[in-house]
C-alpha cells in the first residue's frame, strides 16, 4: 500500500427525523448512548457529522471496513440508513450493496460533491466548481455581488482570483453609485475579462489528503495586506521518506 494513501469515505444519512438539523441532534445522541458498543463509529458520528453528511476517512482498508460495519449498526439503532456511499477505495465500495452507493459499482472516477466541493475519488483530488456567469446582463453593484456569490469556494482554493473580483466591487463603492445604477465602463471591462476566464479554474486539482502516516506534520501560515486587500493562507508541511511535502489547506481574502 502506498504509505501516503488515505482511504476516504463519505456517506449521506436519511432517517425518520423531520429535518436534517434534528437528525444531527439524534445522531449525536446515538453516539453518546452507544459509545461503549461502537467506539469507532461513535467517535466519527460525534466529530465528523455535518447536516446529513458524514465525511471521514481511515488509514487502512481494514480500519475502513471495521468503521463501516460499526457505522451501519450504530445508525440502525436509531432506525436510520446510510446511503450514497462514496470512497477512493474500490474494494471498500464493492463490499456495500450497489443500490446504497452513490454511483453504484460503476467507477470511482466519477466526481462527487463533499459538502458542495467537487471531489474525484479515483485521483483523490478536490476540484474547483466554477459557475457559468452571463456577461451580457446589466452591470450594477447588485449584479456584481450576485455573480461573486456564485463562486462557491469555502476553502479559498481560488482566492487569488476572487480577490480581484472583490477589488472591483470595492471600487464600485468608492464611485458612490446606487445598487442598480450602471457601473463605470472601466470596471465593467475588468469584470468581464475576469469572468470570461473563470471556467479555466475548472482545470485546477487540489490534493485532498494533506497529512501523512508520519507524526512530523507542521501547519505554516502566511498573511499579508495592502491598502486594498489582505490575504492569509495555511499549508501543511509533512516529512516523508522523500523529503518534505507541502499541501494547501485553506486561504482567505
Q: What is the pLDDT of residues 188-203, one digit of tens each?
A: 999 999 988 888 888 8
- Number of domains comprising the chain: 3
Tell whether 30 and 103 lie within a shared domain.
yes
Tell whether 12 and 83 lie within a shared domain.
yes
**According to the model, what pLDDT value does residue 14 have?**
44
Tell whether 185 and 106 lie within a shared domain.
no
Residue 136, in any domain of the structure: no
Residue 2, in any domain of the structure: no
- Could you read off the pLDDT of 50-97 as tens digits, one per residue? 877 888 888 888 998 999 999 999 989 988 888 889 998 888 888 999
Q: What is this structure's pTM?
A: 0.79
Tell whether 197 and 224 lie within a shared domain.
no
Residue 123, in any domain of the structure: yes
Take residue 34 and report the three cell numbers written for it.
452507544
Sole residue written with cell 475579462: 193
Tell whether 246 and 185 lie within a shared domain.
no
Q: What is the mean pLDDT of residues 180-192?
A: 91
Task: Note down the domain range covering 63.
Answer: 7-127
- Read off the pLDDT band of 22 (50, 70, 90): low
Give the 3-state secondary structure percentages of the chain, helix then strand then coil, rounded to 5: 35, 25, 35
Tell whether 16 and 117 lie within a shared domain.
yes
Sheet with 217-225, edge to edge strand ranges: 217-225, 230-240, 243-252
Tell whether 26 and 82 lie within a shared domain.
yes
What percentage of the chain has pLDDT greater than the value 90?
33
Of the listed ranges 23-27, 135-139, 183-187, 242-246, the least confidently predicted one is 135-139
Tell whether 36 and 148 lie within a shared domain.
no
Tell whether 247 and 219 lie within a shared domain.
yes
Tell whether 106 and 196 lie within a shared domain.
no
Q: Is residue 8 a contact partner of residue 112, using CB atoms and an 8 Å limit? A: no
Long-range contacts of 218-227 (CB under 8 A, 24+ apart): 219/249, 220/246
Residue 163, in any domain of the structure: yes
Amino acid at each position: 500500500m502506498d504509505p501516503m494513501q488515505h482511504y476516504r469515505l463519505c456517506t449521506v444519512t436519511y432517517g425518520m427525523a423531520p429535518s436534517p438539523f434534528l437528525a444531527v441532534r439524534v445522531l449525536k445522541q446515538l453516539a453518546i448512548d452507544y459509545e461503549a458498543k461502537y467506539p469507532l463509529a461513535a467517535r466519527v458520528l460525534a466529530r465528523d457529522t455535518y447536516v446529513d453528511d458524514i465525511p471521514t476517512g481511515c488509514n487502512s482498508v481494514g480500519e475502513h471496513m471495521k468503521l463501516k460495519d460499526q457505522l451501519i449498526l450504530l445508525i440502525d439503532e436509531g432506525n436510520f440508513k446510510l446511503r450514497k456511499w462514496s470512497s477512493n477505495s474500490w474494494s471498500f465500495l464493492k463490499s456495500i450493496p450497489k443500490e446504497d452507493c452513490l454511483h453504484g459499482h460503476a467507477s470511482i472516477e466519477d466526481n462527487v460533491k463533499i459538502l458542495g466541493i467537487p471531489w474525484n475519488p479515483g485521483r483523490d483530488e478536490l476540484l474547483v466548481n466554477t459557475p457559468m456567469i452571463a456577461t451580457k446582463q446589466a452591470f450594477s453593484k447588485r449584479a456584481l455581488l450576485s455573480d461573486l456569490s456564485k463562486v462557491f469556494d469555502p476553502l479559498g482554493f481560488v482566492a487569488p482570483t476572487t480577490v480581484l473580483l472583490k477589488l472591483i466591487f470595492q471600487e464600485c463603492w468608492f464611485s458612490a453609485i446606487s445598487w442598480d445604477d450602471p457601473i463605470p465602463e472601466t470596471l465593467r471591462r475588468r469584470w468581464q475579462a475576469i469572468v470570461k476566464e473563470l471556467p479555466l479554474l475548472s482545470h485546477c486539482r487540489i490534493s485532498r489528503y494533506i497529512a501523512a502516516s508520519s507524526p512530523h506534520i507542521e501547519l505554516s501560515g502566511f498573511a499579508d495586506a495592502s491598502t486594498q486587500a489582505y490575504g492569509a493562507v495555511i499549508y501543511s508541511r509533512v516529512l516523508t521518506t522523500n523529503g518534505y511535502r507541502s499541501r494547501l489547506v485553506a486561504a482567505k481574502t
